[in-house]
Structures are given as structure tokens and as C-alpha cells.
């Protein structure tokens, strides 16, 4: 049995001087540290000054886009996507996807993300990279039929799902229609039927640009959320992403549906200069999760940076300081993501998955440490993560990716200078 020692912080509160007991893939219990000797513990990590967190869930990402980091800077979404990103993506090879997906996931994992929800091309290669790394991964093959994009053929999305369903404990397939303006209503209906038959999660971009909103309105006379409802996919199995142009009526419709909205504050602030109406959605009971989107346009895969910006940008956007509190945003990054992906995770309590993060808070920025939520959201950086555990197994420790047997620096050295 393993034990993590420190201050336990989860969305339900915090407990100082505690030990989290891990037995197999789940948490056995949380006990006062002075009782640790009562248990048969083989390995102990952490101690005074450490924070123990539920694994952070990156509920929307494109990890292989690490290769595209730095391209198309300071462009709005439509130009960034059509003029820069799509042309670059058409040059992908499966081998490149696998290599760069591994790099992107390693970056995310070392910064505290125990779970990713990825949406991209050549999904088999991304899935294999996830297996090598030991990260928990939900992966969907991006599909679209209203854009001429050979690597996004609709049939491949269904085939990928069938190939990976039940294949690996940690890697689970999803359905990944690209967006409401790039997938026809007919195809979206087909995806919905397929998902219902197989109890699958649907992961889709929604209302991420004014161009998307205009195109869906022109084609169907519907808003993006109305389109999702018409297609029969707007419900608890839907993980929608961005939603920055949702109208008040769409907010109400979305909230009633039970769907999750993934908030990617950094990428949308950079690409569109806007913040999604997550406060209004949350007030109406919508499950909110956080996503890092991708190394392009955000620049880095750091969930703590994403939490910090989500908290600050929502305050600026609404000119209110009482919204997106540290505790609330931390909940989006942990329990919100777990709920979106139907995981028994996001809390540190018996029976929950042992997906855990150990933060070394023995640093000046953590003093005096009176509010653990503030410490996590406003004082922590990904580089403060010392240990990451997935399914009860240590997969990252002190700069080393355990399953790969490589340090982060060795992984960096493995990429030729021309590829950096």
C-alpha cells in the first residue's frame, strides 16, 4: 500500500496533516498522519508542506498540436484555423502524430493533468502514445463532412471507436464531431444514434466563433445549441467546448439539457477576445469543466495556469470579483472534469480513483498558506508538481516519466533541433 502525506485539498474541503492511503487503483482512506503507523504502508511520499490534490482533468485538448506551437499567433479563430492550422494539419503523418502527442501528453502529465480528453486526427497513434505514458485518456477521432479534409473522414471516427472500445483500462474512445458548422445535421444525427447504442461520450466544439454561428444559422435557421438539440445529441453524454457566443436563450437550453460545457479561458481570450458565459451556465446548474485546449494557441499545457486565468478573466469580463472563486474554479478542474467523463474521480475519499497529484508547497509563494484553494489556484505552477499518480500507479516523479524511464530533459533531447 502507498501513502501520500500532506494537506488534502479537494472540492469538498481540506484536511491538514493527513495521509491518503492507496490500495490498488483506488483510494482506501484518508487518515490523520499520526495514524499512518496503523497501516501496512510500503511507500510514503510527501510530508509537511505538501498539497495532495485530485488529478486535474484536461477536459478538452489536442495534445499533438505541440508541434504547431507558435504558429498563427495573434490571429482570430477563423483565420488561425483556415489559413494556418488546417493547412499545417494536412501535412501530418501518423508517425509524427504519435511522437508529438506523446510530447504534449508528457507536458500535461508532468504539470498535474492525470486525465486528458483529446479530439484530433490519427487517433490510434494518440491512443498508443497514451498507453506508453500511463495517462488516463479519452480520445476521439475528429470527423467532419462539410469541409474537404481527408484525414477527418466520418467513417474513421466510428471505426476508431469500435477498435478501442474495451481495449484498455485507461484509454477510452469517444465520438468527436469537429463543430456545429463543419458537421452536417445528418451526420450529427448519425453520431447521436451511434452514441446512444454504445453509451458513448460526444465531444464537440460549439459556438467558438462568429463565423460558426452565422454558418449554422444560414444553413439550418438554427443557433448552434438548437442545432445540437435538433440532432438529438444535446444531453448528459455531450461534452461541448467553448460556447463563447451562446445567447441567453441558448444558455437556458444548454443548462436544462444536462450537457457539460468545457471552459477554455486562455485560448478563447487569445483567439476571440471573449469569455464564455460559464458563470450564467453554472448558476443554472450546468456542469463546468476546464480545458487547456492545446499547446497552440495557449503555449503551454499547465492546468494551474488555466485555473488562474479562468478565475481572473471571468472577474474582468463581468466586472465582479465575487465570481469564479478559487474554490469554484478548482472544482471545475477536478470534479467537473470527472463528471463530464463519467469518472469516479475528482474527490479524495474511499472508493474513488487513485488519480492524485502531489504538489511541493515548501516554497516562498505558498506562505503563509492560510487558504489552500488560493494556494492551488493563485500560487501553484505546473513546475511545483512533484509526483503524479494514475490508477494507483506513480507515472511521474521528480522530473521523470516513470513508465517511459526518461526525464523531461531526456525527452526534450530526443527531438531533433529542427523539430523544436
Q: Which residue, of 287, 315, 340, is where some domain finishes? A: 340
pLDDT band at 419 (very low <50, low <70, confident <90, very high): very low
What DSSP line would sit under 90-133, residue for residue? Answer: TT--HHHHHHHHHHHHHHHHHTTEEEEEEEESSHHHHHHHHHHH
Strands 356-360 and 385-390: antiparallel
Strand residue runs (E) in 24-112: 26-32, 43-54, 56-61
Residue 381 burial class via C-beta count within 10 angstroms: exposed 0-12, middle 13-18, buried 19 and up: middle
* Residues 48 and 165 both lie in one domain: no
Give me the percent of the chain exceeding a pLDDT of 90.
95
Q: Residue 325 in 3-state DSSP?
A: coil
For the segment 326-375, what is each residue's pLDDT rounded down to a tens digit? Answer: 999 999 999 999 999 999 999 999 999 999 999 999 999 999 999 999 99
Asked if 204 and 324 sit in the same domain, the reply is: yes
301 in Cβ contact with 107 (< 8 Å):
yes
Same domain, 144 and 271: yes
Q: Domain range holding 332?
A: 56-340
Indicate whether 420 pLDDT > 50. no
Give per-residue pLDDT as tens, 186-230.
Answer: 999 999 999 999 999 999 999 999 999 999 999 999 999 999 999
Query: Is the same domain home to 289 and 401?
Result: no
| Same domain (yes/no): 28, 126 | no
Number of structural domains (the chain) is 2
CB 117 within 8 A of CB 155: no
Q: Please answer whether residues 240 and 255 qualify as being in contact, where contact means their C-beta atoms are separated by less than 8 angstroms.
A: no
Whether residue 102 sits in one domain with residue 194? yes
168 and 103 inside one domain: yes
* Together in a domain, 261 and 322: yes
Q: How far apart are CA 339 and CA 332, in angstroms?
A: 10
For all residues of the chain together, what is the average pLDDT? 96
Q: CATH number, domain at 30?
A: 2.30.40.10
Q: Is 375 helix (H, G, I), strand (E, B) or coil?
A: helix
* Residue that has been written with the C-alpha cell 460556447 in this structure: 243
Task: For residues 372 and 225, state if they share a domain.
Answer: no
Domain closes at, from 285, 313, 340: 340
pLDDT number for residue 386: 98
pLDDT at 77: 85
Q: How confident is the model at residue 414 (pLDDT cuts 50, 70, 90)?
A: confident
Residues 334 and 351 in one domain: no
Rounded to an integer, what distance in angstroms lies between the CA atom of residue 57 and that of residue 334? 6
- How many Å apart are CA 265 and CA 268, to the nearest integer? 6
Residue 98 CB contacts under 8 Å (≥ 6 apart), including other chains: 122, 125, 126, 128, 129
Give 7-51 pLDDT, tens digit per residue. 999 999 999 999 999 999 999 999 999 999 999 999 999 999 999
Please give the full DSSP string across 316-329, using - where no structure is assigned: HHHT-SSSS-HHHH
Residue ranges of E strands in 267-375: 287-290, 356-360
Q: Is residue 304 part of a domain?
A: yes
**Residue 417 counted as domain residue:** no
What's the pLDDT tens digit per position in 227-267? 999 999 999 999 999 999 999 999 999 999 999 999 999 99
Residues 203 and 274 grouped into a single domain: yes
Q: Identify the pLDDT of residue 76.
A: 85
Name the pairing type of β-strands 238-242 and 260-263: parallel
Which of 149, 228, 146 is closest to 191 using CA atoms? 228
- Which CATH number fits the domain that encloses residue 141? 3.20.20.140
Cell 480528453 sits at which residue? 117
Beta strands per DSSP E along 135-263: 136-143, 171-177, 202-206, 238-242, 260-263
Q: What is the mean pLDDT of residues 51-78?
A: 94
Amino acid at each position: 500500500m502507498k501513502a501520500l502525506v500532506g494537506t488534502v485539498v479537494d472540492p469538498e474541503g481540506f484536511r491538514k496533516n493527513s495521509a491518503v492511503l492507496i490500495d490498488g487503483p483506488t483510494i482506501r482512506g484518508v487518515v490523520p498522519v499520526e495514524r499512518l503507523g496503523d497501516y501496512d504502508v510500503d511507500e510514503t511520499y510527501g510530508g509537511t508542506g505538501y498539497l495532495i490534490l485530485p488529478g486535474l482533468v484536461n477536459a478538452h485538448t489536442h495534445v499533438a498540436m505541440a508541434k504547431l506551437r507558435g504558429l498563427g499567433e495573434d490571429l482570430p479563430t477563423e483565420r488561425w484555423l483556415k489559413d494556418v492550422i488546417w493547412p499545417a494539419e494536412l501535412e501530418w503523418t501518423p508517425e509524427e502524430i504519435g511522437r508529438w502527442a506523446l510530447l504534449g501528453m508528457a507536458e500535461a502529465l508532468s504539470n498535474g493533468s492525470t486525465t486528458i480528453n483529446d479530439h484530433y486526427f490519427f487517433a490510434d497513434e494518440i491512443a498508443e502514445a497514451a498507453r506508453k505514458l500511463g495517462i488516463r485518456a479519452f480520445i476521439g477521432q475528429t470527423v467532419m463532412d462539410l469541409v474537404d479534409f481527408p484525414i477527418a473522414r466520418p467513417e474513421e471516427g466510428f471505426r476508431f471507436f469500435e477498435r478501442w472500445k474495451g481495449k484498455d483500462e485507461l484509454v477510452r474512445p469517444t465520438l468527436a464531431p469537429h463543430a456545429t458548422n463543419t458537421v452536417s445535421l445528418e451526420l450529427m444525427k448519425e453520431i447521436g444514434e451511434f452514441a446512444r447504442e454504445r453509451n458513448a461520450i460526444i465531444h464537440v466544439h460549439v459556438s467558438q466563433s462568429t463565423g460558426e454561428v452565422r454558418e449554422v444559422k444560414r444553413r439550418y435557421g438554427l443557433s448552434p445549441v438548437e442545432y445540437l438539440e435538433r440532432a438529438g445529441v444535446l444531453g448528459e453524454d455531450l461534452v461541448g467546448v467553448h460556447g463563447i457566443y451562446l445567447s441567453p436563450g441558448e444558455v437556458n437550453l444548454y443548462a436544462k439539457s444536462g450537457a457539460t460545457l468545457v471552459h477554455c479561458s486562455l485560448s478563447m481570450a487569445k483567439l476571440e477576445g471573449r469569455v464564455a458565459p460559464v458563470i450564467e451556465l453554472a448558476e443554472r446548474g450546468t456542469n463546468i469543466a476546464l480545458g487547456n485546449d492545446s499547446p497552440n494557441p495557449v503555449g503551454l499545457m499547465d492546468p494551474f495556469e488555466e485555473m488562474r486565468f479562468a478565475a481572473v478573466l471571468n472577474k474582468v469580463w463581468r466586472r465582479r470579483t465575487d465570481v469564479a472563486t478559487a474554490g469554484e474554479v478548482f472544482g471545475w478542474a477536478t470534479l467537473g472534469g470527472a463528471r463530464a467523463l463519467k469518472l469516479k474521480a475528482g474527490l479524495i475519499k474511499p472508493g474513488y480513483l487513485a488519480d492524485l497529484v502531489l504538489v511541493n508547497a515548501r516554497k516562498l509563494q505558498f506562505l503563509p498558506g492560510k487558504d489552500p484553494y488560493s494556494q492551488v489556484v493563485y500560487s501553484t505552477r505546473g513546475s511545483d508538481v512533484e509526483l503524479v499518480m494514475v490508477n494507483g500507479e506513480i507515472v511521474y516523479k521528480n522530473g521523470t516519466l516513470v513508465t517511459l524511464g526518461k526525464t523531461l530533459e531526456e525527452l526534450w533531447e530526443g527531438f531533433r533541433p529542427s523539430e523544436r
